[in-house]
Amino acid sequence: MTEPIQRRARATRANLIAAAEAIVAREGFGGLRVEQVVKAAGVAKGTFFTHFADKDVLMEQLVAKRLSRLMDALQTARRPSSAKGLAATLGPVIELLTCERYVFDLVQRASLADGPIAEALSRLDIIITGWFGGLFGAPPFRTDLSPKVMAEGIRAFTLMAMARHVARPGKQTEPIKALATQVEAYLMPPE
Amino acid sequence: MTEPIQRRARATRANLIAAAEAIVAREGFGGLRVEQVVKAAGVAKGTFFTHFADKDVLMEQLVAKRLSRLMDALQTARRPSSAKGLAATLGPVIELLTCERYVFDLVQRASLADGPIAEALSRLDIIITGWFGGLFGAPPFRTDLSPKVMAEGIRAFTLMAMARHVARPGKQTEPIKALATQVEAYLMPPE
DNA sequence: AAAACGAATTGACCACGGTCAGCTTTCGGG
DNA sequence: CCCGAAAGCTGACCGTGGTCAATTCGTTTT
């Protein structure tokens, strides 16, 4: 569960993760089966569960890894100067987290618990908070709220936009546009 | 799946629902097992799935029934006159939807799809929209947004508050207070 | 009333995540 | 080098949701 001690165990774990990544690349996150993973890694099923408390824990790691890469990119991005720009900046994140229904559900469950996904998302909060300047927001955004509250609001809107997107397969729900509307209403109220 | 034609089938379906409600009353939503339900209703397992596409469909109906009763109560409630009042008014809804992790996850999945839960929640949107008056909000709330956008914003904040509450078993997260903070920021910006 | 046909029901079966008592490997100390 | 303890691994087994070919029941037609 925690980082293994012996070299053999570390190798096993790495094999499991590598096998899982290959399967995800081929069949998507939702298509992964634990039996497949252990077979590909050449270990017994029970071994899987000595390394990961359950399937979700592994999946969280895989998703978090990708999410983390997006955070690296965002960290060097320019501070957006409008609500629309802010929404657009979040585009890649939205795309990843809504690429499959399975992924979205997983993230939703994990987004406020302890774990790598919550960690990655809190990085996002920190980045956004940074964009808003110091203790309070900075123009052109409103300046009466703490960045923490603002970041949480943005997170709520983002989740909502993604949820609608994922719930309506087929229909183009334009999550980024919907997000921009809400973010603008929230961060740039009239006057 | 859809309303059965023969009298016998309608009775079977009613038995299944009654059995399920009894089990939920005893063991909670998350404790319900399909095998239990069919045993209590005196039918075979396969029968269950001719009446409900899957377990979730039944559970949605049970939760939606309770939710619907809350909507009936809300419909006759007075229009709240502050953000805090608005948040408090949503208290019973929050309480129901966060009474179990299982319920919250179910609702989250169902809240934007087709089905009884989405229907009940859209009733809530209509009620809230009504509170905001006509085409736009009404004082003391901001008046530059359409009620539809406002209702969606409130929904996003509500889900977020509930998600945090459910994700932190033990810790008192005061979802109503958190919700009030966001709603106030959103609906009553300075100036 | 008998035949014919679709609705409803059945239960053995499957897929898949997860468990656990027992076995094997690794490693530190004598 | 050997031994004992701890870490790691195994695979038969389980619980639970869901499937489907076969069968029974109810209704309509002749």
The residue among A170 and B160 whose pLDDT is bigger is B160
Instruction: Give residue B136's pLDDT band: very low, low, confident or very high (50, 70, 90).
Output: low
Alpha-carbon distance B87 to B94, whole Å?
10
Residues 6+ apart with CB under 8 A from B41: B12, B15, B16, B18, B19
Which bases on strand C have an atom closer than 7 Å to a protein beta carbon? Answer: 7-13, 16-21, 25-27
Tell me the domain boundaries of chain B: 1-53, 55-187
- What number is the average pLDDT over the span B68-74? 96
Distance B121 CA to C18 C1' (A): 35
- What number is the average pLDDT over the span A170-178? 90
Q: In whole numbers, what is the pLDDT of chain A averaged over residues?
A: 93
**What pLDDT was estimated at residue B130?**
85
- Is B2 a residue whose pLDDT tops 80? no
| Superfamily for the A1-53 domain | Homeodomain-like (1.10.10.60)
Q: Report chain B's C-alpha Rg in angstroms.
A: 19
Buried b (16+ CB within 10 A) or exposed e, A160-174: bbbbbbbbeeeeebe
Report which of A34, A44, A54 is spatially closest to residue A12, judged by C-alpha positions: A44
- Is B30 a residue whose pLDDT tops 90? yes
Nearest protein residue to the C1' atom of C19, measured from CA: A46
Of A182-191, B71-80, B88-97, B135-144, which gets the smallest average pLDDT?
Answer: B135-144
Alpha-carbon distance B47 to B45, whole Å?
5
Find the distance separating the first CA and the last CA of chain A, reported in whole Å.
53
- What number is the average pLDDT over the span A32-49? 98
Test B156 with A152 for CB contact under 8 angstroms: no
Report which of A184, A78, A189 is spatially closest to residue A130, judged by C-alpha positions: A78
> Domain A56-187 belongs to what topology?
Tetracycline Repressor; domain 2 (1.10.357)
- What number is the average pLDDT over the span A144-166? 93
Report which of A149, A161, A160 is spatially closest to residue A186, judged by C-alpha positions: A149
Check if CATH label 1.10.357 holds for domain B55-187.
yes
**What pLDDT was estimated at residue A82?**
87
Question: Least CB-CB distance to B159: which of A113, A152, A156?
Answer: A156
Instruction: Give residue A1's pLDDT band: very low, low, confident or very high (50, 70, 90).
Output: confident
Q: Is any Cβ of chain A less than 8 angstroms from the Cβ of B188?
A: no
- Find tokens 């824990």 and name the residue: A57
Q: Please give the structure tokens belonging to residue A184.
A: 């603008």
DSSP code for B137: -
- Is A21 a residue whose pLDDT tops 90? yes
- Is A135 a residue whose pLDDT tops 60? no
**What pLDDT was estimated at residue A146?**
87
Query: Which A residues in the span 49-108 are in contact with B, Cβ-Cβ below 8 Å?
Result: 105, 108
pLDDT tens for residues A86-127?
Answer: 899 999 999 999 999 999 999 999 999 999 999 999 999 999
- Is B133 a residue whose pLDDT tops 90? no
DSSP code for B4: P
- Find tokens 């409008």 and name the residue: A82
User: How many CA within 13 A on the CB side of residue A85?
Assistant: 12
Report which of B156, B155, B162, B190 is spatially closest to residue B177, judged by C-alpha positions: B162
The residue among A159 and B139 whose pLDDT is bigger is A159
Beta carbons of A33 and A5 less than 8 angstroms apart: no
